[in-house]
Amino acid sequence: MTGTAAAVPITIIGGFLGAGKTTLLNRIVTAQAARRLAVIVNDFGAIDIDGELIARRGEDVLALRNGCICCSLQGDLLGMLRRLLARDPPPEGIFVECSGVSRLDDMRRALLDPVIWAHVSFEGIVCVTDAEALAEAGPVTRDPLFLEQIHAADLIVLSHADRLEAEAVDRAEHALHAIRPGVAIARDGARLLAHPALRAAAALAPRVRALRASAGEVAADPEFASLAWRSDAPIDVMSFRTVLERHAPGLLRAKGILYAASAPYRGMLLQMVGMRATVGPAPERALADRSTRIVFIGRRGTFDPASLLRDLDALPAPLRTTRILK
């Protein structure tokens, strides 16, 4: 890091579990494929699913695992930033994707490091927020952490607005203004890039090269529990679905790669946010690892990881011959 180098813009992307942070980040990095961008992802859970889902994964995607950046991982985050800034040439922009359980005000404080601040320009905190949940006044909108994130954001980006009529998106915006009058809102990714809060970052054309780093042991989060589950044998999807349905009321989020016994040659991407679950083809870059790996997250007290683990481990093991390895 030299005193004369141009400041590197850094943008924080936060938002509740499953709000759409990775989706937004992918939209940004894909739209600006030509320049050097570094991305730090912070998954809550022991398996780095987000790192695998960032488009153009390469040496500039840093994975900060198993925790919340704002508390126990602050040292690791600052260390990663220092290493990024010491590169020659340094990145033209840095995005930090917080875990869905991160408090964004703490996040802002976590970045208050004189060495870092001498070399970055802080572009602000973007909070991705589910417009559908807002329009429907869903249970998540009363969650204290959800509200904290909205209060701490410099800019709210509405996700899932494409699933709504214009009138419902208006309702979502009203709900946001009721929580925090005057908060800046962008309705979609395209507007986000033109928004003053992110204009400087949008002017960058990132090229993502991946660099992986592993975090050390992290203290358990007092509010949220997670379970990272791996299976080397493909799983019976109907039985898995029954287990998922049984535990869904206590789950806020599940995501991962799943190899089904009925079609074991192709990994599927499982995305579950609240009661909304989808299974679709996994991106190519996530298929090098041929095991099923899923992270489940919920609030302590309502989510029982030990009982879920028992149910998952009791899933019927399919015949080995049904597995086709290519």
The footprint of ligand GTP (CB under 6 A) covers: 15, 17-23, 50, 100, 128, 159-160, 162-163, 253, 255, 271, 273, 278
CB of 153 to ligand GTP, least distance (A): 14
3-state helix, strand, coil in the chain (%, to 5): 35, 25, 40
CB of 274 to ligand GTP, least distance (A): 10
CB of 89 to ligand GTP, least distance (A): 29
Q: Are 193 and 28 in contact (CB under 8 A)?
A: yes
Whole-angstrom CA distances from 156 to 21, 76, 260, 284 are: 11, 27, 37, 31
For residue 209, the one-letter residue type is R
CB of 201 to ligand GTP, least distance (A): 18
- The DSSP line for 199-223 is HHHHT----B-B--------PPPSS
Nearer residue to ligand GTP within complex by CB, 283 or 318? 283
Nearer residue to ligand GTP within complex by CB, 23 or 231? 23
d(CA 136, CA 303): 24
Nearer residue to ligand GTP within complex by CB, 129 or 292? 129
Nearer residue to ligand GTP within complex by CB, 22 or 32? 22
d(CA 229, CA 183): 39
3-state DSSP call for residue 159? strand
CB of 278 to ligand GTP, least distance (A): 5
CB of 92 to ligand GTP, least distance (A): 23
| Residues, the chain | 326
Nearer residue to ligand GTP within complex by CB, 74 or 102? 102
3-state DSSP call for residue 196? helix
Nearer residue to ligand GTP within complex by CB, 22 or 66? 22
Nearer residue to ligand GTP within complex by CB, 17 or 104? 17
Cis peptide before 249 (omega within 30 of 0): no
CB of 164 to ligand GTP, least distance (A): 9
d(CA 73, CA 43): 11
Element (H, E) at 158: strand 155-159
